[in-house]
Copies of this chain bind each other. A is one copy, B any other.
Amino acid sequence: MKEELLATFSNHFEKPLIDEIMEEGRLMEVPAGETIMDIGQYIRSMPLLLSGAIKVLREDEEGDELLLYYLEQGETCSVTMACCMGQTKSEIRAIAETDSRLVMVPVQKMEEWMAKYKGWRNYVFESYQNRLNELLQTVDSIAFKNLDQRLVDYLKKKVEVTNDNQIRNTHQEIAYDLHTSRVVVSRLLKKLEKMKKLELHRNYIQIVNL
Q: How far is the CA of A66 from the CA of B179 in the complex (A)?
A: 20
Bits for A114-140, please: 1 = Cβ < 8 Å to B, else 0: 110010010001101101110110111
Does chain B have a CB within 8 A of A12?
no
Q: How far is the CA of A82 from the CA of B115 in the complex (A)?
A: 20
Q: How far is the CA of A125 from the CA of B128 in the complex (A)?
A: 9
> Which residues on the B side are within 8 Å of A100 (C-beta)?
none
> Which residues on the B side are within 8 Å of A91 (C-beta)?
133, 136
| A contact patch SS | helix
Pair A143/B66 contact, Cβ less than 8 Å? yes
Pair B129/A86 contact, Cβ less than 8 Å? yes
Bits for A78-91, please: 1 = Cβ < 8 Å to B, else 0: 11001001100001
Pair B132/A132 contact, Cβ less than 8 Å? yes
Q: Point out which of A79, A85, A125, A126 has the most chain B C-beta atoms below 10 A from its C-beta.
A: A125
Q: A68-B139, A136-B135 are in contact. Are A144 and B60 (CB under 8 A)?
A: yes
Does chain B have a CB within 8 A of A14?
no
Q: Point out which of A64, A126, A140 has the most chain B C-beta atoms below 10 A from its C-beta.
A: A140
Q: Which residue of B lies closest to A84 (CB)?
A: B129
Does chain B have a CB within 8 A of A197?
no
Q: Which residue of B lies closest to A68 (CB)?
A: B139
> Which residues on the B side are within 8 Å of A92 (C-beta)?
136
Does chain B have a CB within 8 A of A58?
yes
> Which residues on the B side are within 8 Å of A1 (C-beta)?
none
> Which residues on the B side are within 8 Å of A58 (C-beta)?
136, 139-140, 143
> Which residues on the B side are within 8 Å of A132 (C-beta)?
78-79, 82, 128, 131-132, 135
A68 to chain B, nearest CB (A): 7
Query: 7 more A-B contacts (CB under 8 A) besides A60-B144, A66-B139, A66-B143?
Result: A58-B136, A58-B140, A82-B129, A85-B129, A92-B136, A115-B118, A128-B128
